Structure 1
Amino acid sequence: MLTGAVDIPERFNPWAPLDVMAEPDWLTGFKLAHARRDPTRCLAALARTGMQYDLLPDRVTGEGCGFENAVRLRSAGVRLGTSPSLSCPMALSFFMWEKHALQPAAKQRFGEPVVAIEHLGSYACRNVNRGEGAVPGASRSRHATADAFDVAGLTLADGRRITVRRDWSGNGDPADLLLRDAHRGACRFFDGVLGPDYNAAHRDHFHLETGGYSMCR
Structure 2
Amino acid sequence: MPLPPAQDRPARLGRRLALALVVAIAAGVVAVFTGAIEVPERHDPWAPLDVTAPPNWLTSYKLARARGDPVRCQAALADTGMQYERVPDRVTGPGCGFENAVRLRSAGVRLGSAPTLSCPMALSFFMWEHHALQPAALRHFGQPVAAVDHLGSYACRNVNRGEGAVPGAPRSRHATADAFDVAGFVLADGRRINVRKDWRTDATNPSAALLNDAHLGACRFFRGVLGPEYNAAHRDHFHLETGGFPMCR
TM-score, normalised via structure 1 length = 0.98
1:145 aligned partner: 176
2:95 aligned partner: 64
How many equivalent residue pairs? 215
2:17 aligned partner: none
Whichever residue aligns with residue 202 of structure 1, its letter is H
Q: How does 1:76-155 map to 2 (within 5 A)?
A: 76-155=107-186
Match of 2:84 among 48, 53, 76: 53
Q: Residue 169 of structure 1: CA displacement?
A: 2.9
From the two aligned structures, give the one with the greater helix fraction. Answer: 2
Q: Residue 42 of structure 1: CA displacement?
A: 0.0
Aligned counterparts of 2:172 and 2:245: Cα–Cα separation in 1 = 12
Percent sequence identity is: 76
1:23-73 deviation per Cα after TM superposition (whole angstroms, max 9, x unaligned): 000000000000000000000000000001010100000000000000000
Please say if 1:39 is aligned against 2:39. no
2:223 aligned partner: 191
Aligned counterparts of 1:202 and 1:165: Cα–Cα separation in 2 = 9
1:160-185 deviation per Cα after TM superposition (whole angstroms, max 9, x unaligned): 00100000034111000000000000
Whichever residue aligns with residue 132 of structure 2, its letter is A
Q: Residue 189 of structure 1: CA displacement?
A: 0.1
Aligned counterparts of 1:180 and 1:82: Cα–Cα separation in 2 = 25
Q: Residue 7 of structure 1: CA displacement?
A: 1.7
Whichever residue aligns with residue 106 of structure 1, its letter is A
CA RMSD of aligned residues (A): 0.9
Aligned counterparts of 2:244 and 2:144: Cα–Cα separation in 1 = 30
Secondary structure (helix, strand or coil) at the match of 1:124 reads: coil
Q: How does 1:163-174 map to 2 (within 5 A)?
A: 163-172=194-203, 173-174=205-206
Q: Give the structure with higher Rg (CA).
A: 2
2:212 aligned partner: 180
Secondary structure (helix, strand or coil) at the match of 2:175 reads: helix
Hey, which bits of structure 1, 4+ residues long, moved more than 6 A? none
Whichever residue aligns with residue 206 of structure 1, its letter is F
TM-score, normalised via structure 2 length = 0.85
Aligned counterparts of 2:165 and 2:48: Cα–Cα separation in 1 = 38
1:129-185 deviation per Cα after TM superposition (whole angstroms, max 9, x unaligned): 000112110000000000000000100001100100000034111000000000000
Whichever residue aligns with residue 61 of structure 1, its letter is T
* Higher RCO (C-alpha under 8 Å, 6+ residues apart): 1
Aligned counterparts of 1:99 and 1:212: Cα–Cα separation in 2 = 24
Secondary structure (helix, strand or coil) at the match of 1:137 reads: coil
Secondary structure (helix, strand or coil) at the match of 1:98 reads: helix
1:97-135 deviation per Cα after TM superposition (whole angstroms, max 9, x unaligned): 000000000000000100000000000000000001121
2:246 aligned partner: 214
